[in-house]
Amino acid sequence: MIVLDSTTVSDDLRRVQFVCNIKKCKGACCVEGDAGAPLLEEEIGLLEDSLDEVKANMRPEGLRVVEELGVFEYDMLGQFVTPLVNGRECAFANFTDGIAWCAIERTWEQKKISFRKPVSCHLYPVRITEYDNFDAVNYHEWHICRPALVNGRRNNVPLYIFLKDALTRRYGKKWYDTLVKEIESGGKV
């Protein structure tokens, strides 16, 4: 484990090799699971502010759910999450050739909004658990990501490198640069 500022980072971020392979997994992380994507409280407002633009990339079923429930609901632990369509896929998921993609991120790619997507989605397969005095940054192993593990090994890309943009977005460049130094020095910073 690496202790960095107010975070504890699992050694899995340096050991696990991972590169998403959407052609193999079909975007299953947007479809599978027992709840929507975790949302930070401040992301709810960003999503509400971006919704008019995002709607153009959403499918009708997702639009209906968002119009009925809003951009968030609560999971069984009372945490904010994106709403689901049919109790299964994220309301912001859309599909092309059987592959799920994010309507929020597509709208961001089109440069119509400044909010990329929930940071929890950007960070996946890393999940952050917030405690009173620190965040635990852990790898979440899920069978749907097996193709990403194969792809990561094939390309020799550790998880902390694959998630550079997402980790930097969440904790800042200084934090990420320090994490890289810690990992690459073998813990001798």
Residue of 42, 43, 38 whose CA lies nearest to 78 = 38
Its pTM stands at: 0.86
Shared-domain flag, residues 85 and 143: no
Shared-domain flag, residues 160 and 93: no
Shared-domain flag, residues 98 and 34: yes
Shared-domain flag, residues 30 and 100: yes
Residue of 3, 29, 4, 16 whose CA lies nearest to 163 = 16
Whether the bond between 125 and the residue before it is cis, its omega within 30 degrees of 0, is yes
Domain boundary at 117, 142, 160, which? 117
Domain boundary at 95, 117, 139, which? 117
92 contacts 102 by C-beta, under 8 angstroms: yes
Domain carrying residue 132: 1-18+125-189
29 contacts 120 by C-beta, under 8 angstroms: no
Shared-domain flag, residues 11 and 68: no
Shared-domain flag, residues 49 and 107: yes
| DSSP letters for 66-94 | HHHH-S-EE-TTS-EE--EETTTEETTEE
Q: Which residues contact 42 (CB under 8 A, 6 or more apart)?
A: none
Shared-domain flag, residues 132 and 175: yes
Shared-domain flag, residues 65 and 102: yes
Question: Structural domain tally of the chain?
Answer: 2
Shared-domain flag, residues 40 and 77: yes
Ranges of the chain whose pLDDT falls below 70:
187-189
Shared-domain flag, residues 110 and 180: no
8 contacts 179 by C-beta, under 8 angstroms: no
Over residues 16-26, the pLDDT tens digits come to: 999 988 888 88
Phi, psi of 130 (to 5 degrees): -90, 125
* Structure-token match 């609901």, residue found: 73
Structure tokens at 52: 């008019």
33 contacts 47 by C-beta, under 8 angstroms: no
Q: Which residues contact 21 (CB under 8 A, 6 or more apart)?
A: 147, 148, 150, 151
Domain boundary at 117, 133, 164, which? 117
Shared-domain flag, residues 100 and 55: yes
149 contacts 138 by C-beta, under 8 angstroms: no
Q: What kind and span of H or E run contains 129? A: strand 126-130
Number of Cβ within 10 Å of residue 38's Cβ equals: 21
Shared-domain flag, residues 58 and 111: yes
